[in-house]
Amino acid sequence: MNAQQPDLHRLVLASLLAALIAVGGYIAIPVGPVPIVLQNLFVLVAALLLGSRWGAAAVAVYLLAGACGLPVFAGGGGGLGHLFGPRGGYLFGFLIAAWVVGRISESFRQRPVAEIVAMVVGSLIIYAVGVPWLQMLLGLSLGKALAIGMYPFVPGDLIKIAAAYAIVKSVRPLLHFGRRPEPGRSPADPVA
């Protein structure tokens, strides 16, 4: 990949995953101030499918679109107020988690056990950023913040990790970017 011709497949897929992260937030089931959403599922899928760099890029573009005010956050919200609101920590957590999950999955060459461990680590990172943030902004005790910001979601997260794994296994063979660079088309070659 060079500056003139970026990897279009990854670029389009990263945009699709950013859109899926947004759609995953539209069906937000409220259980207190933090809703159950499918967003973190797609964050994990993005990281596994695209790797650390483009996975984090997908989340970053999603955050940027939300910061501009486009309705992409949970339930159709948007704006800086949401990004720095009580649930903003989870959103920044997504960014770090996407990078770390992608990184682990890459360094172990997409071995199944490594991917699952990576997703568990990623989910923990999301809470590690999100819960203290929630605690700070809503002025709760740590125990209470964990009770509304983490414990209700743990069973769901286990299901999401299983689902993310199934999705990645099912979708990976459909995609073409594994075939690049093709002979004679590698970015290093100067194309006439």
**Chain contacts with other proteins (rule: CB under 8 A):** 3-6, 8-9, 11-16, 18-20, 22-23, 26-30, 32-33, 35, 57, 61-62, 64-65, 67-72, 74-82, 85-86, 138-140, 148, 163, 166-167, 170-171, 174-177
Residue 51 to residue 48: CA distance in whole angstroms: 6
CA distances from 82 to 61, 77, 125 (A): 16, 7, 20
Q: Which two tokens stand for residue 169?
A: 């296994």
Please tell me the total number of residues recorded for the chain in this structure: 192
Please state the closest distance from residue 172 (CB atom) to other proteins, in A: 9
CA distances from 151 to 34, 36, 124, 145 (A): 11, 12, 12, 9
Please state the closest distance from residue 56 (CB atom) to other proteins, in A: 12
Please state the closest distance from residue 175 (CB atom) to other proteins, in A: 5
Closer to other proteins by Cβ: residue 22 or 126: 22
Q: Using an 8 Å Cβ cutoff, are 34 and 148 in contact?
A: yes
Please state the closest distance from residue 122 (CB atom) to other proteins, in A: 19
Q: Which two tokens stand for residue 118?
A: 């990576």
> Which phi and psi angles does 98 have, rounded to 5°?
-60, -45
Closer to other proteins by Cβ: residue 33 or 124: 33
**Could you give the angle at the alpha carbon of 113 between the alpha carbons of 107 and 115, nearest 5°?**
55
Closer to other proteins by Cβ: residue 113 or 139: 139
Please state the closest distance from residue 142 (CB atom) to other proteins, in A: 14
Closer to other proteins by Cβ: residue 12 or 142: 12
